[in-house]
Chain A
Amino acid sequence: MERTKKKIKLFKGYSKYEKKDFPFVYLLILIPVAQFAVFWVYVNISSILLAFQNEDGNWTLANFAAVFRAFREPDTFTFILPQLIGRSALLWAVVNVVAFPISVFTCYMLYKYTKCHLFFRICFLIPGLVGTVVWTTLVRYMVAYNGPVTELLYALNLLSDQIKHDGLFSSATTAYPTIIVVTFMMSIVGNNVVLTGAYARIPEELFESAQIDGASLGREVFNIAVPCVWPTIATLLTFSFCSVLTYDNGVYVYSMGEGGNGMANMGFWFQYATYNIATMPGTSYNYPAAVGVFITVIAVPIALIARVILEKVVEPTDF
């Protein structure tokens, strides 16, 4: 067989007329590309290199020694990392293992069986649009010593006088559980827009024929809808695995930058470390950078393995 040399031609398939527009288009995307190069590529490379340097710029592995030490005793910021990682992982599990399946189901019910579901979609979208400070201030008010949630729980004899005195964020017993409950409630209707969009692409004929065959609601959801939108679900879950060890949801703002009463998790820790280093003389970003690299080294394989498993769990359905 004659082997033909294939030339890889740049701009193959474009007419001469279209190629005239290329300089113009490149100019247009120059700024976003430059921004990406500076604020993502450079920043991340710099962060990784910082992990292997001391504050004088000399190469060292001492930062990683500090990371391992922080697994046994309080670190520079008086936190013990495994505790924080555990809290982040717990929050992640609540969102992605418990709330996410519920949200898949609730989004389907909303889309398929709820009149004016568009109105509800907009309502559920609003917390994501409202600034974090507004949302967390609202929650802080609701769980303050005189907030409606605290008053209700106290009236139901579910709170001690001590906790009622200062609110749910004032005690290690209730602070992080409050974060978990708030995050869970927000996650039940999370991803609403994405999932609804995915459900909308499923041909109606599939459901009609299922109904003719007498399929129950459960079969409709789990045997038809979910497999059809599985690529979307798999994508969402894959992305979520990237934050399995650092999941946060605004603890820094909820705790007003303190992380006290057992609220601190890894996401909080990074913000806390960054802020304190920026304002505290004699400290440097090398240690937090090393923590970041360490977490990344663990989280990346997890995310990749999760992606492979998720792709194999459900066979892709073409329609």
Chain B
Amino acid sequence: MSKFKRLLVCASAAVMLFSAAGFAGCKRDKIAVDPSTINVRVFQGGYGVDWIYELKNKFETAFADEGYKVNILTPSSDERGDIVYNDLIAGYEEKKIDLVFTTDLYAEKVAGGDEGYLVEDITDTVYNKPAIDFDGEEESVNIVNKMKPGADSSMIALNEQGKERYYGFNWVSSIGGMVVNTKKLSAYGLELPKTTDEMLDAFEAIYLGTNGYGNSTESRTYPITYVQGSNGYALCMLNTHFAQYTGYDDFLTFWSMLDENGQPMTETGKTLYEDQGLFEMLNVAFAVLDPIIAAPGSQTQTVGQAQGKIMADMGKDDAVFMCVGDWMLNEVRYIYSNKLNDIEFINFPVVSALGTELFGPSSGYKLSEEAADELLSYLVGLVDENLDIEDIISRTQTDKGITLNEADAMRVAEARGIYFSRGVEHLAFIPKGSSKKDISELFLRMFASDDFAPIYAQTTNGTSPYTDAVNTNTDYKFVEEASRVAVNQYAKLITSYPRGLRRELGLMTMFISTRHIPMEIASRRISMFNSQGQIDGDKTRAVYAEAANTLWGEEKADINKNWANWIANL
């Protein structure tokens, strides 16, 4: 080969090699090595990262005398899950990261998991200490007492002594609920529903037509739309309704299969599927996820298309309701910037079967089913106003002439307070061995302060997990109402994270006989309506109850058939 050819070949190879390296994005963050500066990695997601820069400024100002600084490395949407896990395995000596705000990584995995303890125990240094305000002063309440029940489910792991300790720090309060286009709802003369019966009545009114609007096939506006496939949006609704009916503690037992002493329910675990709450959950789900009343295309569309149907004007094969989270506003704010106040966020309406059980014909109150639902709706409204139980009882007596039992009032308050949290997946960790962990801990304590909560709300359109204040300093009703759910005094967080025996058995989903309940429900095409915008013959909502019973029965049969085998294979 001639020298010239050889040179040409080498040059070509060098160009290709370096251009490949260039595409790899060789920009490197600078790691600070001085003992007063912490290196922080942060996940870039729907809530953005402006909040951490704001917090950094406040922190550095408050601790200017000590010279503490925060070096925020380039935020990335890759800073999650296994990527962060692998960095933690690599260790502090190699990575020099003092604090990481991430998602999709639970404390159990990084503390006492397969790789041992990769992160610091922050129980006594963060949670059992007060938050720190922007003046560097401690608040009066420990951080652990600022959290809502259930918020710590993902942060806790067992230490070497088998005691529960905090290893993660929750940095987002994120709610799975419903978005409602209130502009369209008002056009139909309807109000935001507080119970599932009210919600289904609204669906019926929209689908059959009311207030001068024809049925959905004429008006081309439909009650509901959803995202296709096995997404989590509708699962939030299922879990919330189940928890509302069965109660918070029994819900946790269902997802852990551990008894009240924390022991695995190897003999009785299968009986958890006898819970009436599962039927009530399915009964509502079949009605809500009725494919006939869903906007056209709902079964095959993406989340963007579904959200587009909510934001669209009437008459465009659009919809009024959708199961989604409080992050939706951030996702649509640039595309639909002039319509953001057409939508509101609500927690899932309380399952009406609870009202029937507590106040219905076979209860001590002996109300009719309609009256029971009306009372339930009224009480839900009082809970939303964040009234204390005594005030709720007093107002009920005054307005309704009904003497409410405190236990029943608490039951309704708990049901309304329950919300499905996607935020628990968002955790911050201090890598094990960090030489500056005390600074990182101060940074986390300032995050949890009352001073930071409004800044966090302003920059993320979300809610800090450590505040009791409704976000009224926002231009958007959606954001305000979402924060109202999160800070309610009765708020209790639920997730569908399997624990205990359930996890050991590998029963990772709610039902085992079907991969994804909403998909299964949609595929069965149960409806009391026809596709011409009318009720199908003389059908009633009983068709949904019948279908719910069938699916529930199939699941119970599957559990009973396989339970002994699963336990034997443990």
> In the complex, are the beta carbons of B229 and A260 less than 8 A apart?
yes
Closest chain B residue to A260, Cβ basis: B519
Whether the Cβ atoms of B9 and A28 lie closer than 8 Å is yes
Q: Kindly state whether residue A196 has any CB partner on chain B within 8 Å.
A: no
Name the one of A21, A165, A256, A281 contacting B296, with C-beta atoms under 8 angstroms: A165
B525 to chain A, nearest CB (A): 7
Check A140–B508 contact: CB distance below 8 A. Answer: no
* Contact A146-B508, Cβ < 8 Å, known A165-B531, A258-B519: no
User: Which residue on A lies nearest to B292, using beta carbons?
Assistant: A165
Whether the pair B508, A24 counts as a contact (CB closer than 8 A) is no
A contacts with B: majority SS: loop
Is A24 a contact of B6 with CB atoms below 8 Å? yes
| Chain B interface helix/strand/loop/mixed | loop
Within 8 Å of chain B (Cβ to Cβ): is A145?
yes
A161 at the interface (CB under 8 A from B): yes
Contacts of A282 in B (CB 8 A): 503, 506, 508
B291 interface hit (Cβ, 8 Å): yes
Tell me the minimal C-beta distance from A73 to chain B in angstroms. Answer: 10
Given known A-B contacts A24-B6, A280-B508, A167 and B297 have beta carbons under 8 A apart? yes
Chain A residues with CB under 8 A of B519: 258, 260
Chain A, range 148-178, C-beta contacts under 8 Å to B? 161-162, 164-167, 169-170
Indicate if the CB atoms of B317 and A146 lie closer than 8 Å: yes
Cβ-based interface call for B405 (8 A):
no
User: Restricting to A273-290, which residues have a CB under 8 Å from any CB of B?
Assistant: 279-282
> What's the minimum C-beta distance from A298 to chain B, rounded to whole angstroms?
27
- Which of B1, B6, B9, B300 touches A167 (beta carbons < 8 Å)? B300
Q: What separation, in Å, do the CA atoms of A28 and B525 have in the docked complex?
A: 61
- A89 contacts B by Cβ under 8 Å: no
Q: A256-B228, A281-B109 are in contact. Are A146 and B296 (CB under 8 A)?
A: yes
Complex Cα spacing A33 to B552, Å: 56
In the bound assembly, the distance between CA atoms of A161 and B532 in angstroms comes to 9
Given A28-B13, A140-B300, A145-B297; A257-B291 close (CB under 8 Å): no
A260 to B524, CA, bound (A): 13
Contact with B along A44-86 (1 / 0, CB 8 A): 0000000000000000000000000000000001100000000
In the complex, whether A291 has a CB less than 8 A from a CB of chain B is no
Q: Are B531 and A258 in contact (CB under 8 A)?
A: no
Is B298 within 8 A of A162, CB to CB? no
Number of chain A residues whose Cβ lies closer than 8 Å to a Cβ of chain B: 27
In whole angstroms, what is the CA distance A287 to B424 when docked? 31
Would B514 and A78 count as touching, CB distance under 8 A? Answer: yes
Tell me which residues from 401 to 434 in chain B have a Cβ below 8 Å from any Cβ of chain A: none
What 0/1 pattern do residues 493 to 516 of B give for CB contact below 8 A with A?
A: 000000000010010100000110
**Residues of B close to A261: CB separation below 8 A:** 523
Highest count of chain B CB atoms <10 Å: which of A145, A169, A257: A145
Say yes or no for B302: interface residue by CB 8 A criterion: yes
Bound complex: CA A89 to CA B506 (Å): 32
CA distance A279 to B82 in the complex (A): 9
Most chain A CB within 10 A, of B6, B506, B514, B532, is at: B506
A144 close to B (CB within 8 Å): yes
Does B230 lie at the interface of the complex (its beta carbon under 8 Å from any beta carbon of A)? yes
What are the interface flags for B65-78 relative to A under an 8 Å C-beta threshold, 1 for contact and 0 otherwise?
A: 00000000000000
Known: A21-B1, A146-B317, A281-B109. A256 touches B302 (CB 8 A): yes
**Contacting residues, chain A, for B292 (C-beta < 8 A):** 165
Q: Which residues of B contact A169 (CB under 8 A)?
A: 300
Task: Point out the residue from A164, A258, A279, A280 that lies within 8 Å of B228, measured CB to CB.
Answer: A258
Chain B residues lying within 8 Å of A77, measured Cβ to Cβ, are: 515
* Residues of chain A contacted by B142 (CB below 8 angstroms): none
CA distance in complex: A319, B13 (Å): 40
Q: Is B534 an interface residue (CB 8 A)?
A: no
**Inside 8 A of A170's CB, which chain B residues have their CB?**
299-300
Give the shortest distance, in Å, between B255 (CB) and chain A (any CB): 15
Q: A257 — nearest CB in chain B belongs to which residue?
A: B229
The answer to whether A146 touches B229, judged by C-beta atoms less than 8 angstroms apart, is no
Interface string of B297-320 (1 = CB under 8 A from A): 111111000000000000001000
Between B1, B297, B531, the greatest number of chain A beta carbons within 10 A of the residue's beta carbon is seen for: B297
Which B-chain residue is minimally distant from A20 (CB atoms)? Answer: B1
CA A282 to CA B300, docked complex, whole Å: 30
In the bound assembly, the distance between CA atoms of A88 and B69 in angstroms comes to 59
User: Looking across the interface, which residue of chain A has its beta carbon closest to that of B227?
Assistant: A256
A220 CB → nearest B CB, Å: 45
Query: Which chain B positions have C-beta within 8 A of A258?
Result: 228-230, 519
Residues in B neighbouring A167, C-beta threshold 8 A: 297, 299-300
Residues in chain A near residue B299, CB distance under 8 A: 166-167, 170
Q: How many Å from the CB of B15 to the closest CB on chain A?
A: 14
Given contacts A78-B515, A258-B229, A260-B229, contact A162 B531 (CB under 8 A): yes
**Is there an interface contact between A144 and B297, defined as CB atoms closer than 8 Å?**
yes
Interface string of B149-169 (1 = CB under 8 A from A): 000000000000000000000
Q: Which residues of A contact B531 (CB under 8 A)?
A: 161-162, 165
- Smallest distance from the beta carbon of B534 to chain A beta carbons, Å? 12
Interface contact B6-A166, CB-CB below 8 Å: no
Contact A165/B291 with A78-B515, A170-B299, A258-B519 known, Cβ cut-off 8 Å: yes
Cα A164 to Cα B297 in complex, Å, equals 9
CA distance A234 to B518 in the complex (A): 47
Q: Which of A21, A166, A256 contacts B229 (CB 8 A)?
A: A256
Contact of B297 among A28, A146, A161 (CB under 8 A): A146
Query: Shortest Cβ distance from A195 into chain B, in angstroms?
Result: 32
Find chain A residues with CB under 8 A from B1 CB: 21, 24
Best-buried of A24, A145, A258, A260 by chain B (most CB within 10 Å): A260
Given the complex of chains A and B, what is the CA–CA distance between A302 and B519 in angstroms? 37
Question: Chain A residues with Cβ under 8 A from B514's Cβ?
Answer: 78
How far is the CB of A282 from the nearest CB of chain B, in Å?
Answer: 6
Q: How far is the CA of A295 from the CA of B374 in the complex (A)?
A: 60
Q: How far is the CA of A288 from the CA of B523 in the complex (A)?
A: 27
B residues less than 8 Å from A257 (CB atoms): 229
Q: Which residues of A contact B229 (CB under 8 A)?
A: 255-258, 260
Which parts of B300-357 form the interface with A (CB within 8 Å)? 300-302, 317
Among B300, B317, B508, residue most surrounded by chain A Cβ atoms (within 10 Å): B300
Report Cα–Cα, A115/B317, bound state, in Å.
46
Which residues from B are CB-within-8-Å of A255?
229
CA distance A166 to B309 in the complex (A): 14
**Bound CA span A110–B18, Å:** 43
What are 11 pairs between A and B in contact, CB < 8 Å? A21-B1, A24-B1, A144-B297, A145-B296, A146-B297, A161-B531, A166-B291, A166-B296, A256-B229, A282-B503, A282-B506
Residues of B with Cβ closer than 8 Å to A?
Answer: 1, 6, 9, 13, 81, 109, 228-230, 291-292, 296-302, 317, 503, 506, 508, 514-515, 519, 523, 525, 531-532
- In addition to A166-B297, A280-B508, 18 A-B residue pairs with Cβ atoms within 8 Å of each other are A21-B6, A28-B13, A77-B515, A78-B515, A140-B300, A144-B300, A144-B301, A162-B525, A165-B296, A166-B299, A170-B299, A256-B229, A256-B300, A256-B302, A257-B229, A258-B229, A281-B508, A282-B503
